[in-house]
Structure 1
Amino acid sequence: MTKQVNILSWRALRDRLPNRWNLTRKGIDIPSLLCPVCSSFPETNFHLFWDCNVASAIWKFVFRWVDIHPPNILDLTDLFNWLDESTSINSFCKTILDSIFGTVIWVIWSFRNEVIFGKRYPRSSELVDKVIHYSFLWYSNRNRKASKCWNNWMQNPLLDFAL
């Protein structure tokens, strides 16, 4: 999963995912530009991964979970630039947050694809649990020498480190 999350994040940050907006820019005829998750706005990367009501709820949870005030961003690149440039967050916490942010992108993209291609409509209520679970697995696999306790991770993954 680690490579898949890295590649998906890389493609999302470069606006290279086959969302509805990008497909129409390539001349592919699709029935609707609207986001398949909320059906309210065109499906751009920014909308799908940050502004959509499902994505927005996940990000609100994530920033409450790690006890950090969310940044004001204009696109996904701004989010990762904010993380890289933040002087108030140490490198251990940045690594954890990078894992969580990548996992959020993965979970939202997977949810979106399940909405479009799945046999049943997925439950958005399960997304936060997936973010917690998959981010723990992803961080643990990327940082094998780091010892993170599952119970601490569920409470706040940054608690063991001073910001």
Structure 2
Amino acid sequence: MVNIGDFWHVKSKAGDSWLWKQLIKSRDYAVNLLGGVENLKNLISSCYVNSKVRLSALYNALKPGSKVDRHDTVWEKLNYPKHSFIMWLAIQDKLLTQDRLHKRGIIQSNQCLLCEGAVAESRNHLFFDCNFSNCVWNGIMEWLKFKLRGKGSKQRIKRLALTATIYNIWRERNARIFKEEFRSVEQLIKAIKVDTWTILLNSSLPDEAYNWLL
């Protein structure tokens, strides 16, 4: 018997049953699609209703032809899968922000640790209203000249930076809560730029796209 705690990392063996091999294969597909085990766990958690997983919600989230999958920004091909996944959860308001945890009675207080003010954390506050997040957004928008119109490669780069920003703000929030690690606005902007450039340097975009970003 396989310990259920090992399910996320166990590998199938030659003597295993066909059913078990298919289960492991499905797990690996979902992990690769979402960019990691933790992302898959978060997705499954977001599909719980009254302590039971809504299989229809899980299926719709994973199937290639779902409505959200076709959203150009969320599922831009340049994006890291983990960036797209966090972006998808943010749009659906499925991230386990403190306001949701507080309503469930999991935590006793709710305070945004990014702006360090007496403001409750919610999806909208965390990504849009928080002073810290606003400074990050302003830095990225200035970098990419968001006031200028752009099509084709320029638009794809903006989508890439958008999802990278959402992901890094969420990651910074988690680091402050769970690890007590803090980065400045400037450090977070630099991390987003590094993520964006890392993807671009491994892509096949035309040279004019790199020249524009430089």
Q: After TM superposition, what 4+ stretches of structure 1 lie above 3 angstroms from structure 2?
A: 119-125, 138-141
Residue 205 of structure 2 is aligned to residue 146 of structure 1: yes
**Equivalence for 1:81:** none
Counterpart secondary structure, 1:146: coil
Whole-angstrom distance in 2 between the partners of 1:108 and 1:49? 7
In the alignment, structure 2 segments of 5+ residues that lack a partner are 1-34, 36-79
Residue 199 of structure 2 is aligned to residue 121 of structure 1: no
103, 125, 132: which one aligns with 1:54: 132
Deviation at 1:140, TM superposition (A): 4.4
Whole-angstrom distance in 2 between the partners of 1:33 and 1:54? 17
Deviation at 1:21, TM superposition (A): 1.2
Q: Deviations over 1:71-106 (max 9, x none)?
A: xxxxxxxxxxxxxxxxx4313222111100000011
Select the structure of larger CA radius of gyration: 2
Q: CA separation of 1:89/1:123 partners in 2, compared to 1, >3 Å: closer, same or farther?
A: closer
Whole-angstrom distance in 1 between the partners of 2:180 and 2:125? 24
Contact 2:168 2:188 in 1 (8 A): yes
- 1:123-138 counterparts in 2 under 5 A? 123-138=184-199
Whole-angstrom distance in 1 between the partners of 2:121 and 2:207? 36
35, 38, 53: which one aligns with 2:112: 35
Q: Deviations over 1:127-156 (max 9, x none)?
A: 111011011223445xx221569x85xxx6
**Equivalence for 1:84:** none
Q: Which amino acid aligns with 2:110?
A: L
Q: CA separation of 1:117/1:91 partners in 2, compared to 1, >3 Å: closer, same or farther?
A: same
How big is the alpha-carbon RMSD for the aligned residues of Structure 1 and Structure 2? Answer: 2.6
In the alignment, structure 1 segments of 5+ residues that lack a partner are 71-87
Q: What is the TM-score with the length of structure 2 in the denominator?
A: 0.55
71, 74, 90: which one aligns with 2:151: 90
Contact 1:140 1:148 in 2 (8 A): no
Question: Higher RCO, 1 or 2 (CA under 8 Å, sep at least 6)?
Answer: 1
